[in-house]
Amino acid sequence: MHPLTGKKALVTGGSRGIGAAIALRLADAGADVAITYQKSQNKAEEIVQRIQQKSVTGFAVQADALEGENVIAAVRKAIDSFGQLDILVNNAGTFDMKPVGETTLEDFDRMMQVNVRSVFAAVNETVKQMSEGGRIINIGSVNADFMPFPGGSLYAMSKGAIAAMTRGWARDLGHRGITVNTIQPGPVDTDLNPANSDMSATLCQMIAVGHYGKPQDIADMVAFVAGPNASYITGATLNIDGGFTA
């Protein structure tokens, strides 16, 4: 019933959307959960309260993923508070749509800093103390492999980098019994990508099951990969997309 009892988790970008669903799902499975947030302190506090209602420990740390040093500080805070960190979920990210020729070097740098550099910073710090059985789970995007509309090249590039680093890290850490995987959501109904948006009708025609996913769909897969039955899964890229890329 509670396969993650005693485990300590950190979910970046855990105050809303997919990140919040992941944090709550890990708490349901028995883990103590820390989350990071950028600006939404009220939403973060609400998620923490809901985590604590599940009879586990929860707290929030403000950390802007644009600054890798903030992410490192959040990892250290989680380790200092919990005494260990067994599960790291890199969920925080940014999304911007601009066609090539209209993007700037600043756009490129921001996408890399938030979506790639911050993930590297979190993993690089976490593995200094993570013990056997640890789980690192990176939230990527099916756009790393499939970009069905113009303007998404920088985003696709950043998420492709996540999948590539995941494979390398799996090799680096396999001998220590630590698994590293990327989960790539397809269209998911969140406040940033609502299922009733102008684009949703077009996207739904491309999804095999005909509808958007829910944040819980991603959270359920994260909980499985974080659990004891997934010890032989590492270096994998797992698409949770309703057949969007089929």
Q: Is 2 a member of any domain?
A: no
* Active-site entry in 37, 155, 212, 232: 155
Secondary-structure percent of the chain, ordered helix, strand, coil, rounded to 5? 45, 15, 40
Q: Output the pLDDT for position 230.
A: 98
Q: What is the pLDDT along the chain (246 residues), one digit of tens a residue?
A: 799 999 999 999 999 999 999 999 999 999 999 999 999 899 999 999 999 999 999 999 999 999 999 999 999 999 999 999 999 999 999 999 999 999 999 999 999 999 999 999 999 999 999 999 999 999 999 999 999 999 999 999 999 999 999 999 999 999 999 999 999 999 999 988 899 988 888 999 999 999 999 999 999 999 999 999 999 999 999 999 999 999
pLDDT of residue 220: 98
Whether 3 is covered by a domain: the verdict is: no
In a domain, 246, yes or no: no
- Asked if residue 1 belongs to a domain, the reply is no
Any domain includes 178 = yes
245 in a structural domain:
no
130 within domain boundaries: yes
Active site residue 212: no
**pLDDT value for 237:** 98
Q: Is residue 224 part of a domain?
A: yes
Q: Tell me, what CATH number does 201's domain have?
A: 3.40.50.720
CA distance 203 to 192: 15
Sheet harboring 179-185: ordered strands across?
A: 58-62, 32-37, 8-11, 87-90, 135-139, 179-185, 237-240
CB neighbours of 117 closer than 8 A, spacing ≥ 6?
Answer: 68
Range of the domain at 20: 8-238
Total number of domains in the chain: 1
CA distance 213 to 217: 6
